[in-house]
Amino acid sequence: MHFFKYRSGELFAEDIPVRKLAEKYGTPLYIYSYNTLLRHFKAYADAFNGYQHIICFAVKSNSNTAILRLFAKNGGGADIVSGGELYIALQAGIPSKKIVYAGVGKTEDEIRFALKSKILMFNVESENELREIDRVAGKMKTKAPIALRINPDIDPGTHPYITTGLKKYKFGIPIEEALEYYKLASKLKNIDVIGVHKHIGSQITKVAPFVDALKRVLILIDELRAQGVEIKYLDAGGGLGISYKDEEPPVPKDLAKNLIPLLEGRKLTLIMEPGRSIVGNAGILVTKTLYLKKGEDKEFVIVDAGMNDLIRPSLYEAYHHIVPVIRNKRDSIISDVVGPICESGDFLARKRELKRLKQGEYLAVMSAGAYGFSMSSNYNSRPRVAEVLVKDEKHFLIRKRQTYADLTRDEHIPAFLK
Ligand SMILES: *Cc1c(COP(=O)(O)O)cnc(C)c1O
């Protein structure tokens, strides 16, 4: 459910015509719907209401401070994977005690920053990382709260690039070895074992993998208790899918209905780390048709948004609906919607049936709120685009478009070249 709908043939973002925003702010342009974001966040909060929990939004899916602030104001926490994300989450007003930190390559500086900020816990991905966190905490004369990220070896049935909970991938600690690692962790002087973490992948469209993975983790928690290691936090990760094309993924309520009964009677705090399922369908990328070019068996629609603005189609062959901002009754033709970047892999859609377009018309790339702007780059020296938040009939610029000067702002010419 989202608030990008047609009214009399014209696409609206909440109560504002998308065309007006494109004219005012220019294209390409990311537009987010406040009420969709809020609704999706609350869907999680309400679904898990019956059990002690924290919703830690996965910052990597969308790291705009205004959006993080929205979640902070509604009781949300953050799942971070870098020092930069920690900085942004704190800037946005997310309480440090609601921040969990994953990622296989945390540096000493990042560990220090997180310890100094007193985050809720580190989700540790290897033995050497555990020893490093112990060492750094020791130097800082503090104790590091940790969970071990367990790899439950469950196939979530999604794209290999966004699968994480299988043995062959770099994430987490194999579940068979978990007990051993926990024993080690409990012995380390500057480590405080408080949780278990798992995250099995992204864009998961079934409940079963979540249930199976949770069951495996609960067995581990029982074994740990028997050995005297008391777990307080069960971090179940994120990964719930959204509808890009015709998927019918479960909603948070379905997830809660299946997970909470497994947790009942246990004195745990459940942590959820949703990213895509909150922001994905709450954002669109608006782009303008620059040129139409006849190919042999299809038409190339050349638009002003490229793979640097939205890389998901190029990187994962991901599907995004592409719709006209103003509907028309022209005939349909097979089109490749491509960007201006000098790469053959620069496309937003391939062999897509689209109504014949005219130069200068606006298109909306749907479901672009997650892993859209946050994965964007300056490739081909293209300034990063603007982001706008719409609430009812009001709109707010939440990130201004970069200028050409921004492109060279951080560079220096050595004296000998001056
Ligand atoms: C990416 C990630 C998430 C969020 O995944 P979504 O599919 O966007 O919900 C949650 N936890 C961890 C550890 C992640 O790496």
CATH code of the domain in which 297 resides: 2.40.37.10
198 Cβ below 6 A of ligand 1: no
250 Cβ below 6 A of ligand 1: no
Catalytic residue among 226, 342, 405, 415: 342
Report residue 144 as tokens. 């590091």
Q: Are 349 and 337 in contact (CB under 8 A)?
A: yes
R_g of the chain computed on alpha carbons: 23
Q: Is residue 351 part of a domain?
A: yes
Whether 196 and 319 map to the same domain: the answer is: no
Q: Is residue 42 part of a domain?
A: no
273 Cβ below 6 A of ligand 1: yes
How many other β-carbons are positioned within 10 Å of the β-carbon of residue 149?
27
Q: Is residue 229 part of a domain?
A: yes
Q: What is the pLDDT of residue 155?
A: 83
How would you class 101 by CB atoms within 10 Å of its CB: exposed for 0-12, middle for 13-18, buried for 19 or more?
buried
Whether 237 and 296 map to the same domain: the answer is: no
Q: Is residue 63 part of a domain?
A: no
56 is catalytic: no
Whether 129 and 226 map to the same domain: the answer is: yes
Q: What is the pLDDT of residue 165?
A: 67
For position 253, which CATH number holds? Answer: 3.20.20.10
Choose one of 274, 293, 315: the last residue of a domain: 274
If you measure from the C-alpha of residue 139 to the centroid of ligand 1, how many angstroms do you get, rounded to a whole number?
31
Specify the number of domains making up the chain: 2
Sign of CA dihedral 87, 88, 94, 97: negative
How many angstroms separate the Cα of 106 from the Cα of each of 41, 86, 102, 139, 296? 28, 12, 8, 17, 49
Which of ligand 1's atoms lies nearest the C-alpha of 162? 7
In the numeric block, the tokens 């104790």 are attached to 143
Q: What is the pLDDT of residue 170?
A: 77
How many other β-carbons are positioned within 10 Å of the β-carbon of residue 405?
8
Mean pLDDT of 30-50: 98
Choose one of 219, 250, 274: the last residue of a domain: 274
93: left (phi over 0), alpha (psi -120 to 50) or beta: left
Q: What is the pLDDT of residue 298?
A: 87
Report residue 121 as tokens. 């816990």
If you measure from the C-alpha of residue 88 to the centroid of ligand 1, how many angstroms do you get, rounded to a whole number?
17
Using DSSP's 3-state secondary structure scheme, residue 270 falls into strand
Whether 326 and 236 map to the same domain: the answer is: no
Q: What is the pLDDT of residue 234?
A: 98
Q: What is the pLDDT of residue 162?
A: 66
Choose one of 227, 248, 274: the last residue of a domain: 274
Q: Is residue 83 part of a domain?
A: no
Is the pLDDT score of 296 beyond 90? no
Strand order in the sheet with 16-17: 4-7, 10-13, 16-17
Is the pLDDT score of 161 beyond 80? no
Whether 194 and 173 map to the same domain: the answer is: yes
Q: Are 376 and 309 in contact (CB under 8 A)?
A: yes
Q: Are 390 and 70 in contact (CB under 8 A)?
A: no
Using CA atoms, how far apart are residues 385 and 373, in angstroms rounded to an integer? 8
Mean pLDDT of 196-215: 95
Whether 237 and 324 map to the same domain: the answer is: no
Using CA atoms, how far apart are residues 305 and 338, in angstroms rounded to an integer? 8
237 Cβ below 6 A of ligand 1: yes
Mutate which of 40, 44, 79 to test ligand 1's pocket (most atoms within 8 Å of Cβ)?
A: 79
Sign of CA dihedral 183, 185, 191, 194: negative
Which residue range forms the structural domain that includes residue 153?
A: 95-274
Using DSSP's 3-state secondary structure scheme, residue 317 falls into coil
Q: Is residue 72 part of a domain?
A: no
Query: What is the amino acid identity at position 302?
Result: I
79 Cβ below 6 A of ligand 1: yes
60 Cβ below 6 A of ligand 1: yes
If you measure from the C-alpha of residue 374 to the centroid of ligand 1, how many angstroms do you get, rounded to a whole number?
13
Q: What is the pLDDT of residue 409?
A: 97
Report residue 310 as tokens. 């939205």
Whether 378 and 267 map to the same domain: the answer is: no
Percent of the chain's residues with pLDDT above 70:
98
Q: Is residue 328 part of a domain?
A: yes
Mutate which of 37, 61, 122 to test ligand 1's pocket (most atoms within 8 Å of Cβ)?
A: 61
Mean per-residue pLDDT over the chain, rounded:
96
What confidence category does residue 275 fall into, taking pLDDT thresholds of 50, 70 and 90?
very high
How many other β-carbons are positioned within 10 Å of the β-carbon of residue 328?
12
Whether 117 and 247 map to the same domain: the answer is: yes
Whether 188 and 330 map to the same domain: the answer is: no
| Greatest alpha-carbon span in the chain | 71
